[in-house]
Structure 1
């Protein structure tokens, strides 16, 4: 992300897809994972640590960056904090002489919980979803966007173009060359 784009984002107000949070200590902000969970459950978005609610830079002290980054990555992979886990990859930027951390949160195909609670994102922030009818709506919204969990019993491998498997495998290898297990799998059809 370029400095011009960061400047444009910081000029915006917080909303459905944008959240600013202070990071004035070596610890993650208390409600950070509620925001991450809510964004995963809605449309995704951008979270900036080291920025006040009004978009003013406060920065993160350089000696805190490594711990905050490490804690964020580790906790995003911890199902007692974020369930199902969703590993995030924050990036540190030096902007106007201050360090800030950008967390790009994509929209997820699954419904996530922070602790034992489900959160959804609204224009005014993160909301705990407790009513069963609202939880059902959240699952239904996800199901309408994503078909990966739908089983098509009549579908067979012959319904797919074999060359698409090779293309998808090659793309996976480019994005995650050393950790994606599908890269080494052969076409067996």
Structure 2
């Protein structure tokens, strides 16, 4: 899949702040968390550029990996699953995320994972304050770098959640607003 590296370099190598994220992207070792991270972020950038064909190509490649207990790798695979769901992927993809909550034989670890999952569902990882700070300092590159993970967390809440903090309408409006802002920042 050298084609993926070529696409990334052609599209993002000289485009700040994307170039920071994909710096030194020259291998496709899917056991390397850094490679998975670059694949996931590249798929998001392609999505925001409305290059859905290549975004799906990257996501399909990324989603060949399954949870093996390593969260350093899973973080990026999960982010890819969320974007794939946003792009109309099969709802059964959610099961891949939910399965991680009971992966261990140690029930204490599983309980801790479920608590973390619940904290994410109520928006504790949104980090809205970082975006506000970037906006206040008039740093559009930093705003973009914080807004994409914010969008990813909104996807998590949307696809994985049923909670009182966010109504479906609120989350859809927030996602749309965030997506439009990111597209403004990259145009």
Normalized against structure 2, the TM-score is what?
0.28
Q: Computing the radius of gyration over CA atoms, which structure comes out larger, 1 or 2?
A: 1
Q: What's the TM-score, normalizing by structure 1?
A: 0.28
Higher strand share: 1
User: Whose relative contact order is higher, 1 or 2, with alpha carbons under 8 Å and at least 6 apart?
Assistant: 1
